[in-house]
Amino acid sequence: MHFRRHKIQDTHITLAHGSGGKAMRDLIDDIFVNTFNNPILSQLEDQATFNLAPLLQQGDRLAFTTDSYVIDPLFFPGSDIGELAINGTINDLAVSGAKPLYLTCSVILEEGLPVETLRRVATSMKAAATKAGVQIVTGDTKVVHRGAADKLFINTAGIGIIPQGLNISAQNIQPGDVVIINGELGNHGAAILIARGELALETNIESDCQPLHDLVEAILNICPQVHAMRDVTRGGLATVLNEFAVTSHVGIRLYEESIPVREEVKGFCEILGLDPFYLANEGKLVVVAKREYAESILSAMKYHPAGKDACIIGEVITSPPGIVLLKTIFGAERIVDMLVGDQLPRIC
């Protein structure tokens, strides 16, 4: 069946765009179907359907994740909510070892949102999906009254295939393992707060938003025996490593002098009394693996643009279990606890 693509004339989102009628259909056709255009989406069914046989040739398990994005502002140095929604969901799949394949896109629009803002976000989502080699295959659109939401919220779900033989889980972590990160911490969290215009700060800090599935593939091609991986988003490095320590009943010791934080972010944190270990990231992952594989993993990571600053930042220890310790540049040790409360609200 062929649907005529309508060009919507409204300059702002109205409640009619969520009514289920012609205005809504025109919006979906113009902004989403035309932008995300692919054979699965173009069927315009209430669900996306796939042939199982080609998927089973790629692996033996399905990875499935979902995430919602409510970031403020919508556009910020280095990225925007659309690219963030695509890359964030891709990365949640990738750290399981999965190859990301298909994404959904559901949006909640506030009455009064400029149509061109929505079009710009959809275009950014398409560009990010194309770059990552994934397809946006189904979705949903809702409109709420003015004031019931803040401009635009996005939910994305993702499906990927995990190749046979991979078993990446925090439960695999063992004493003697090393902790590796692919680059600088805190850039995204700092960029968001500065972009809000509430601080009289001038910096060139940009979000690190990027897809990580190619980097993960490079790591696993060299070392499929990786014990655990996790992308470092809300709650920062400290939260991820505390989750690892609790799940695997081990301790983790970090070395402050080895953890990469750019000088501008350090200065930003000092001014505001923040800790870069708790700042959000959108293009960083932690890898935990046996020490004997560390150099091979680092070499593979540094060969990839997303891992050029990769380094070992710590080690897994037997005791104290469930605790993350930081050896400071002064030689003392302190506990790095899980984040309590919010350092920065709405950073993803």
Per-residue pLDDT tens digits of the chain, which is 348 residues long: 344 455 788 999 999 999 989 999 999 999 999 999 999 999 989 999 999 999 989 999 999 999 999 999 999 999 999 999 999 999 999 999 999 999 999 999 999 999 999 999 999 999 999 999 999 999 999 999 999 999 999 999 999 999 999 999 999 999 999 999 999 999 999 999 888 876 666 778 999 999 999 999 999 999 999 999 999 998 999 999 999 999 999 999 999 999 999 999 999 898 888 899 999 999 999 999 999 999 999 999 999 999 999 999 999 999 999 999 999 999 999 999 987 766 666 667
d(C-alpha 181, C-alpha 231), whole Å? 10
pLDDT for position 196 = 86
d(C-alpha 225, C-alpha 237), whole Å? 22
Q: CA angle at residue 304 from 302 to 309, to 5 degrees?
A: 40
The three-class DSSP label of residue 242 is helix
pTM of the model: 0.94
d(C-alpha 278, C-alpha 237), whole Å? 6
| Selection from 156, 165, 139, 136 nearest residue 92 by Cα | 156
Domains of the chain by range and CATH? 15-162 (3.30.1330.10), 170-335 (3.90.650.10)
Report the 10 Å Cβ neighbour count for 72: 15
Instruction: Specify the DSSP element, H or E, that contains 268.
Output: helix 263-272
